[in-house]
């Protein structure tokens, strides 16, 4: 009974045509992002390490370039032979390493064709990058940089339970690093520093001598676990998590409304392991939603057209070197039609405007023209003056009160003393 269905599905796949791909990928090997040196370490620790915080290393650069070459192979038959501007759109965020990674990946993806070579000594073509700074919010830092979300998240027991699951780990790493670990992000930052040094294998910023391969793996697993627990807090999943799927759906709608001869083929998101993890969790993708990927990991979401029926396919690779493999969404199943995908992931709809509204408290009336600014400034000055007045009266009273109590003390103490004798 199952066979005919399976056959249809297989045949369908053969006739389906890839029309659009969105590819999220992680940057290459990088320097540590937060500490560089722990409080417990000597002042000259790591001083000869040449990279600034969070920047790609030489090895990391090579990884992204190789990743671009691999993408070119994997999209053979779909990707144009040469770079065509309207077919591509590339997003980065505010972290330098995401723009560096995008530029390097694109150098591998689109080496200039013969007619595009403008300098025979440099086989490279400039390709525009666009910033989308919501991408960087996928992470525990969102509780700091989005105060409105942070306030809600901290009301959740699930947030405080994150550290409670690892009492020994917290205690040990506080002792080792000299960093006070009071919030999940602190643990994540400390663990990440140790793990990054281990991955670097650079004697100028040496890994801890006690750190075995097995321990490094465990550190990474704890990092994955605490981040996953954080992502599953409703205020996080329904803001930054939902933003990822809204983004996917909106990009698809753009493409389906474009004339075939002017259609976009690729959207690239040069981001972080956290972007892939939260997408994997939200879409129910094995592998991708279960572990942090390594450097140059990627998730491709492909749109296929089979006689005007549209399907989505997911391909995951956990490392720049590893070829991608198709993964089936546990939520959307196989085949995953665009209609079903939209039903599952359209709500809540978190576009750019909605995201920022959830992220930050309003500062001022939206159309902050000069008059409003003037009124607000005057208001602040007046309130300030009133407060200063009230405060100085209050201080005067306190001063008098405290002086009298000092006198009291001076007088009673010798008396009490006398009485006891
Ligand atoms: C790299 O990032 C740092 C820290 O955000 C910033 O100060 C610096 O200007 C960035 N460099 C470039 C070239 O954008
Ligand atoms: C712990 O994390 C919080 C929130 O990110 C941060 O403000 C604080 O500085 C961190 N503490 C340490 C010791 O790094
Ligand atoms: C991570 O979470 C999984 C699933 O909850 C659990 O089985 C595993 O033991 C955890 N690992 C660590 C190191 O805490
Ligand atoms: C989908 O494929 C059909 C042919 O099977 C074609 O007529 C139609 O234009 C395609 N639609 C898009 C959006 O590419």
Nearest atom, ligand 4, residue 307 CA: 5
- What is the 245 CA–ligand 4 centroid distance (Å)? 24
- What is the 234 CA–ligand 3 centroid distance (Å)? 21
Q: Yes or no: say if 19 and 305 are a contact pair by the CB < 8 Å rule.
A: yes
Higher pLDDT, 338 or 10: 338
List phi, psi (to 5°) of 302.
-105, 140
Q: Is 3.40.50.1240 the CATH number for 9-356?
A: yes
What's the CA gap between 320 and 68, in Å, rounded?
A: 9
Q: How confident is the model at residue 15 (pLDDT cuts 50, 70, 90)?
A: confident
- What is the 242 CA–ligand 2 centroid distance (Å)? 26
Closest listed ligand to the CA of 232: 3
Nearest atom, ligand 2, residue 182 CA: 1
Weakest-pLDDT range from 22-26, 134-138, 338-342, 387-391: 387-391
What pLDDT, on a 0 to 100 scale, did the predictor assign at position 149?
A: 98
What is the mean pLDDT of the segment spanning 169-189? 97
What pLDDT, on a 0 to 100 scale, did the predictor assign at position 12?
A: 47
Q: Is 225 in the pocket of ligand 3 (CB under 6 A)?
A: yes
Closest listed ligand to the CA of 182: 2
343, pLDDT greater than 70: yes
Enumerate the domain spans of the chain.
9-356, 375-407
Nearest CA to ligand 4 atom 2: 307
367, pLDDT greater than 80: no
- What is the 17 CA–ligand 4 centroid distance (Å)? 9
Closest listed ligand to the CA of 222: 3
Q: How confident is the model at residue 407 (pLDDT cuts 50, 70, 90)?
A: very low
- Tokens representing 211 are 């750190």
Higher pLDDT, 78 or 364: 78
Q: Yes or no: say if 198 and 211 are a contact pair by the CB < 8 Å rule.
A: yes
- What is the 243 CA–ligand 4 centroid distance (Å)? 28
Nearest atom, ligand 2, residue 179 CA: 13
User: Which of 308, 309, 310, 338 is the pocket-test mutation for ligand 4 (most atoms within 8 Å of CB)?
Assistant: 308
Nearest CA to ligand 4 atom 11: 308
What is the mean pLDDT of the segment spanning 64-79? 98
Q: Is 179 in the pocket of ligand 2 (CB under 6 A)?
A: yes
Weakest-pLDDT range from 18-27, 262-271, 387-396: 387-396
- What is the 255 CA–ligand 4 centroid distance (Å)? 12
What is the mean pLDDT of the segment spanning 327-350? 97
What's the CA gap between 381 and 224, in Å, rounded?
A: 49
Query: In the predicted model, what is the mean pLDDT of the chain?
Result: 89
Weakest-pLDDT range from 234-238, 340-344, 417-421: 417-421
What is the mean pLDDT of the segment spanning 74-92? 97
What pLDDT, on a 0 to 100 scale, did the predictor assign at position 151?
A: 97
| 3-class state of residue 204 by DSSP | coil
Higher pLDDT, 415 or 345: 345
Nearest atom, ligand 2, residue 141 CA: 5
What pLDDT, on a 0 to 100 scale, did the predictor assign at position 387?
A: 67
Nearest CA to ligand 2 atom 14: 186
Strands (DSSP E) contained in 307-413 are: 309-317, 325-327, 336-337
Weakest-pLDDT range from 69-73, 286-290, 417-421: 417-421
Q: Is 139 in the pocket of ligand 2 (CB under 6 A)?
A: no
Q: Is 18 in the pocket of ligand 4 (CB under 6 A)?
A: no
Closest listed ligand to the CA of 129: 1
Nearest CA to ligand 2 atom 5: 185
What is the mean pLDDT of the segment spanning 146-152? 97
Q: How confident is the model at residue 372 (pLDDT cuts 50, 70, 90)?
A: low
Q: Is 186 in the pocket of ligand 2 (CB under 6 A)?
A: yes
Write the pLDDT tens digit of every residue in 279-312: 999 999 999 999 999 999 999 999 999 999 999 9
Integer CA distances (angstroms), 323 to 3, 69, 82, 109, 266, in order: 30, 12, 23, 15, 19
Peptide bond preceding 348: is omega within 30 degrees of 0, i.e. cis?
yes
Q: Is 221 in the pocket of ligand 3 (CB under 6 A)?
A: yes
Dihedral-angle region of residue 370 (phi above 0 means left; psi in -120 to 50 means alpha; beta otherwise): alpha
DSSP secondary structure letter of residue 287:
T
What's the CA gap between 318 and 312, in Å, rounded?
A: 20
Percent of the chain clearing pLDDT 70 (strictly above)? 83
- Total residue count of the chain as it appears in this document: 421
What pLDDT, on a 0 to 100 scale, did the predictor assign at position 11?
A: 43
Nearest atom, ligand 4, residue 256 CA: 13
Q: Is 191 in the pocket of ligand 3 (CB under 6 A)?
A: no
Q: How confident is the model at residue 363 (pLDDT cuts 50, 70, 90)?
A: confident
List phi, psi (to 5°) of 253.
-60, -40
């Amino acid at each position: 009974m199952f066979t005919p269905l399976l056959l249809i599905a297989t045949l369908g796949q053969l006739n389906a045509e890839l029309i659009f791909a969105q590819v999220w990928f992680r940057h290459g090997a990088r320097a540590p992002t937060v500490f560089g040196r722990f409080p417990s370490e000597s002042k000259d620790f790591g001083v000869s390490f040449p990279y600034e915080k969070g920047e790609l290393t030489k090895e990391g650069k090579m990884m992204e370039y190789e990743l671009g070459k691999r993408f070119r192979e994997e999209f053979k038959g779909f990707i144009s032979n040469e770079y065509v501007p309207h077919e591509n759109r590339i997003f980065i965020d505010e972290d330098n390493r995401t723009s560096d990674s995008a530029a390097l990946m694109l150098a591998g993806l689109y080496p200039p064709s013969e007619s595009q070579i403008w300098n025979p000594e440099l086989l490279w073509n400039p390709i525009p990058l666009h910033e989308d700074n919501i991408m960087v919010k996928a992470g525990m830092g969102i509780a700091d940089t989005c105060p409105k979300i942070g306030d809600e998240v901290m009301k959740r027991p699930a947030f405080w339970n994150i550290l409670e699951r690892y009492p020994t780990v917290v205690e040990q790493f506080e002792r080792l690093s000299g960093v006070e670990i009071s919030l999940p992000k602190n643990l994540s930052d400390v663990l990440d520093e140790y793990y990054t040094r281990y991955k670097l294998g650079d004697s100028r910023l040496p890994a801890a001598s006690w750190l075995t391969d097995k321990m490094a793996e465990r550190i990474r697993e704890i990092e994955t676990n605490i981040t996953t627990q954080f992502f599953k807090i409703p205020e996080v999943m329904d803001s930054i998590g939902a933003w990822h799927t809204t983004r996917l759906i909106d990009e698809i709608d753009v493409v389906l409304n474009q004339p075939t001869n002017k259609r976009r083929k690729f959207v690239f998101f040069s981001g972080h392991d956290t972007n892939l993890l939260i997408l994997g969790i939200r879409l129910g993708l094995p592998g991708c939603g279960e572990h942090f990927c390594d450097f140059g990991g990627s998730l491709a979401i492909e749109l296929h057209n089979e006689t005007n029926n549209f399907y989505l396919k997911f391909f995951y690779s956990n490392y720049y070197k590893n070829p991608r493999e198709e993964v089936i969404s546990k939520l959307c199943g196989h085949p995953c039609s665009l209609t079903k995908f939209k039903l599952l992931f359209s709500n809540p709809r978190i576009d750019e405007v909605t995201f920022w509204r959830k992220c930050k408290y309003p500062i001022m009336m939206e159309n902050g023209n000069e008059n409003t600014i003037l009124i607000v400034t005057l208001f602040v000055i007046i309130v300030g003056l009133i407060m200063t007045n009230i405060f100085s009266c209050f201080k005067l009273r306190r001063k008098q009160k405290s002086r009298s109590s000092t006198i009291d003390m001076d007088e009673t103490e010798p008396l009490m003393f006398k009485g006891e004798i």
